Amino acid sequence: MARGRLEIEVKGQVDCLEKNRPGAFVSYADCEPDTAVARRVADSLRAASFDVLNTEQDARVGSYWQHNYEKQLRRSHALVAVVSSKYLSQPECRNEVRISHRRSLLEGMLVAPVVIEPIDGARLDRDAEMTWTHLLDCGGLVDGRLPKDEELAELAKSLAANLVSKGIWTLPEPS
C-alpha cells in the first residue's frame, strides 16, 4: 500500500461521527517523516475537539478499504494534508486533495496543507502541479519545514474557529 493511515479507534461504523464534533481527515504519504507529522497533526486536531477520521484499520480488511476511506473523506469537515515530494507523487494523495478541493468550492470544506519540506513546483508533473496549486491556495503551514507542536495546535484551533464562523459547527457548552 502506497498510503499511510493513522491508527485510531473509529467508534463503530464510519458513519458514527461523535455528536457535535467536526470530522477531520489527515492525508499523508506512508513514509517518514510524513507519518510522524501526521500523528502530531491528529493529536492537535483531537485537542481542538475534532474527530479524526481514518481508515488504517479498515485497510487491513481488504478491498472495502477504498470505499471506506472515500466515505470518511466525504464526511469530513476538513482535510489536513501533510505535504512532501512523496505525497505529491502518490495518486491516492492527489485524489484526496482533488475530492477535498471540489468539496471546498461546493460545500465549504476546509483544506489545510502542512508542507514539511521545500517543494520545487517546476519539477512536478502535471497532476502533482495541479494538486500543489490547490494546496497553496488554502493557506495552512507552507514554509517547507517540520512544524512545531504549537504551530499545529494553532492550525487546529484556526480550523475549528473557521467552522464556527461559517455556522458549520457550534462549540460545545463548557461542563
Q: Is residue 42 part of a domain?
A: yes
| Inside any domain, residue 15 | no
Q: Does any domain span residue 13?
A: no
In a domain, 4, yes or no: no
Task: Classify residue 76: in a domain, yes or no.
Answer: yes
Band of residue 40 on the pLDDT scale cut at 50, 70, 90: very high
* Residue 126 lies inside a defined structural domain of this protein: yes
The reported pTM is 0.83
In the β-sheet with 78-83, what is the strand arrangement from edge to edge? 51-53, 23-27, 78-83, 110-115
Average pLDDT score, the chain: 82
pLDDT in tens, 97-112: 999 999 999 999 999 9
CATH number of the domain that 141 lies in?
3.40.50.10140
Residue matched to cell numbers 477520521? 53
Q: Give the tens place of pLDDT for each residue, 127-151.
A: 899 899 989 888 899 999 999 999 9
Is residue 16 within 8 Å of 10, Cβ to Cβ?
Answer: yes
Q: How many domains does the chain have?
A: 1
Domain that holds residue 105: 23-165
